[in-house]
Amino acid sequence: MPHITLTRPRPTVWQVALTSPPDNRLVPALLSELSEALDTVEIEWRQAGGGQIDPKEREGHAGKGAGALVLTSELPKFFSNGLDFEGSLKINKFFEEVYDPVMWRLLTFPLLTIAAINGHAFAGGMVLALCCDYRIITSGKGFMCMNEITFGSPLPNSFSTLLANRIPDPQRLRDTLLARRWTQPELLKIGLVDKVVEQDKVIEEAVELGAKEGIRVAPGSWGLIKEGVFRPILESSQSYRPITRPPDAAKAFWNRVGKDKAKAKL
């Protein structure tokens, strides 16, 4: 069963929808399909004149090189509930070689990217939404939350650096890392989403925005601009820091201080 669908609701707007019940977990198969879909979108955009720096080269195309990508979900409750964390730990270098390349690809995609968040976006799902240029969220069920602390998971390098970039306010970053469930009005207030609309209007609004603003990326430099801005995120994700679980941290602590020393304190 496919994990995503790719459609083209407008000549210059492509739509990728996550379709993996029950909650669009970001498993390797889904991430692989998403990566392939992004390649397909870029191929079609370039074939339609996108990325041509000379306006004359774009004039012969109906959309004149405009392009936007809408990322959304076909499920009724979840945009994405994040990773299958326990499963990801069984895959060597999952973040560095499976998740992060797709995250970086979306973060620096040459088309305008819009997350149409029509359900909850938790953990890796929230990160996926934050990789997009714009975020439009439903006024219905639609919390955004980084809940790793609730199940004893550290954050991979890429998540940490992206969150610090997107949430520069120290108090709001702290609250996010402590698993605050941000409501839609709060998300709008702190700038993590651009618009809150009714559930049945989320995708429509995202497509309209893409059709209107997609012409900005026609000359082909948008992805390159983002590569420069977000370079620290890429470099951080490539530092290959091993994921340390709480039991490992506890073991390292006791090895350092010594259990005899701890008993002496009692």
What is the model's pLDDT at position 48? 95
Domain boundaries, the chain: 4-257
In angstroms, the Cα distances linking 56 to 43, 51, 165, 219 are 20, 12, 37, 11
Question: Helix 100-107 vs helix 157-166: angle between axes, to the nearest 10 degrees?
Answer: 30
Domain 4-257 has CATH 3.90.470.20: no
What is the model's pLDDT at position 51? 95
Burial classification of residue 153, based on how many CB atoms lie within 10 Å of its CB (0-12 exposed, 13-18 middle, 19 or more buried): buried
Could you tell me how far CA 48 lies from the centroid of its own chain? 26
What is the model's pLDDT at position 65? 95
DSSP conformation class of 13: E
Q: What is the pLDDT along the chain (266 residues), one digit of tens a residue?
A: 689 999 999 999 999 999 999 999 999 999 999 999 999 999 999 999 999 999 999 998 999 999 999 999 999 899 999 998 888 878 888 888 899 999 999 999 999 999 999 999 999 999 999 999 999 999 999 999 999 999 888 898 889 999 999 999 999 999 999 999 999 999 999 999 999 999 999 999 999 999 999 999 999 999 999 999 999 888 877 766 666 777 887 887 788 787 666 565 55
Could you tell me how far CA 108 lies from the centroid of its own chain? 11
Helix ranges restricted to H, the chain: 28-47, 55-59, 85-89, 94, 100-107, 124-130, 157-166, 170-177, 184-189, 202-213, 222-229, 231-237, 246-257, 259-264
Which residue is associated with the tokens 């198969």? 29
What is the model's pLDDT at position 241? 64
Distance separating alpha carbons of residues 261 and 259, to the nearest angstrom: 5
Residue 217 sits at the vertex; the CA angle it makes with 213 and 220, to the nearest 5 degrees, is 175
Q: What is the pTM of this model?
A: 0.90
Please name which of 84, 74, 146 lies closest in space to residue 116, comparing C-alpha atoms. 74
The four Cα atoms 246, 249, 253, 254 give a dihedral, to 10 degrees, of: 60
